[in-house]
């Protein structure tokens, strides 16, 4: 692992297997300098264990940077579960996962990510104290963090539009939205209310039809989304969508969305800038969900505190993009530098 391309001085990486439930899980802790690590759990049917490890390493590093930029007292960690989220979920699997989280004694707090919902987290919470994004009940839990993530992405998208087009007004802007699941679906509603013209895609046919019916969006295939003649491209599915194959197809001036690890490599940030596209670094713009979870984990959840933190996050995003424009530097490198400085300053 130590010479793995995605290894970035991670503090610890844990592999868990439970034979009875079939759980195969990795929990990667990148940094606890700012506090106990926190990050969602992803359930995905990986092609190989190597792919699973790569995802856990990249996502946990991203969470360190995301939490640092969001200004919350948590380091970065991530859990990935190998399995099909539509067919492989059982109570036993998530109880085993809860025991895995509990065994780390508070070094990692879990919550939702791709393929995981609040009901799954509730099952895991039977076995661990270190879970957030729980169902709102009996004064406990803040619920699904996706709506807060989507609100932050929407506000960040307006900010990027302001810098790229001279106005944050999205009325009559054409936006290609890739992925209309938990975050992308809520985002589409915000964008439709703002008067944007939407083109959408998703592998889930039911989801895409539902969003199209409720927003008036036009459906395109998952491959054709890159070719839409749009003002803004908003990735809200999986990562590495900005790569040498897709970048030449984009006709947009802004890329801003909720997906993690949108750049296939760090070097792609410069290539995106060189073709005249303003890129909103993903771990800065999509921090609303973990802010919401952090509010819950504090033991004194306050919607006002969450909103204030989201507004500050958007201000941070603006400062990153403005510094990028002033210094002719890729936005991802500006954000990386700030995040690393915040983490380094917190180390004893």
Return the structure tokens found at 245: 């194959």
Active site residue: 78, 197, 271, 309, which one?
Answer: 78
**Greatest pairwise CA separation for the chain in angstroms:** 58
Count other C-beta atoms under 10 Å from residue 99's C-beta.
Answer: 17
Measured CA to CA, the distance from residue 331 to residue 342 in angstroms comes to 17
Q: Are the CB atoms for 181 and 211 separated by under 8 Å?
A: no
Burial class (CB in 10 A: 0-12, 13-18, 19+), 312: middle
121 three-class SS: helix
CA distances to 53, 58, 91, 149 from 80, rounded to whole Å, are 9, 11, 17, 20
Measured CA to CA, the distance from residue 330 to residue 335 in angstroms comes to 9
Q: Are the CB atoms for 182 and 203 separated by under 8 Å?
A: no
Q: Which residues pair with 175 in a beta bridge?
A: 198, 232
Determine whether 300 is an active site residue: no
Question: DSSP label at 232?
Answer: E
Q: Are the CB atoms for 234 and 157 separated by under 8 Å?
A: yes
Active site residues per annotation: 78
């Amino acid at each position: 692992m130590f010479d793995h391309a995605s290894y970035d001085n991670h503090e610890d990486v844990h592999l868990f297997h439970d034979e009875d439930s079939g759980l195969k899980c990795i929990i990667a802790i990148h940094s606890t300098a700012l506090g106990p690590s926190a990050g969602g759990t992803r359930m995905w049917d990986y092609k190989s264990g190597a792919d699973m490890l790569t995802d856990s390493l990249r996502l946990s590093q991203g969470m360190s940077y995301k939490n640092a930029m969001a200004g919350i007292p948590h380091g970065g960690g991530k859990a990935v579960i190998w399995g099909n989220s539509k067919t492989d979920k059982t109570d036993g699997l998530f109880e085993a996962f809860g025991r895995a989280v509990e065994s780390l004694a508070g070094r990692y707090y879990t919550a939702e990510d791709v393929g995981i919902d609040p009901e799954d987290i509730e099952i895991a919470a039977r076995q661990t104290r270190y879970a957030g994004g729980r169902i709102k009940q009996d004064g406990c839990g803040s619920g699904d963090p996706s709506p807060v993530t989507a609100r932050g992405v929407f506000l960040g998208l307006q900010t990027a539009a302001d810098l790229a087009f001279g106005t944050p007004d999205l009325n009559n802007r054409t936006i290609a939205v890739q992925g209309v699941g938990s975050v992308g679906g809520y985002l589409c509603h915000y964008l439709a209310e703002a008067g944007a013209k939407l083109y959408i895609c998703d592998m889930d046919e039911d989801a895409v039809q539902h969003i199209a019916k409720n927003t008036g969006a036009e459906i395109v295939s998952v491959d054709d989304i890159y070719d839409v003649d749009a003002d803004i491209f908003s990735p809200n599915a999986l990562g590495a969508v900005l790569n040498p194959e897709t970048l030449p197809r984009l006709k947009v001036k802004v890329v801003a969305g909720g997906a993690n690890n949108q750049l296939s490599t760090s070097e792609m940030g410069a290539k995106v800038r060189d073709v005249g596209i303003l890129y909103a670094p993903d771990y800065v713009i999509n921090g609303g969900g973990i802010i919401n979870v952090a509010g819950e984990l504090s033991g004194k959840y306050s919607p006002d505190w969450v909103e204030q933190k989201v507004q500050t996050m958007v201000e941070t995003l603006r400062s990153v993009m403005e510094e990028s424009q002033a210094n002719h530097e890729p936005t991802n490198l500006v954000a990386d530098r700030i995040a690393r400085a915040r983490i380094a300053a917190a180390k004893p």
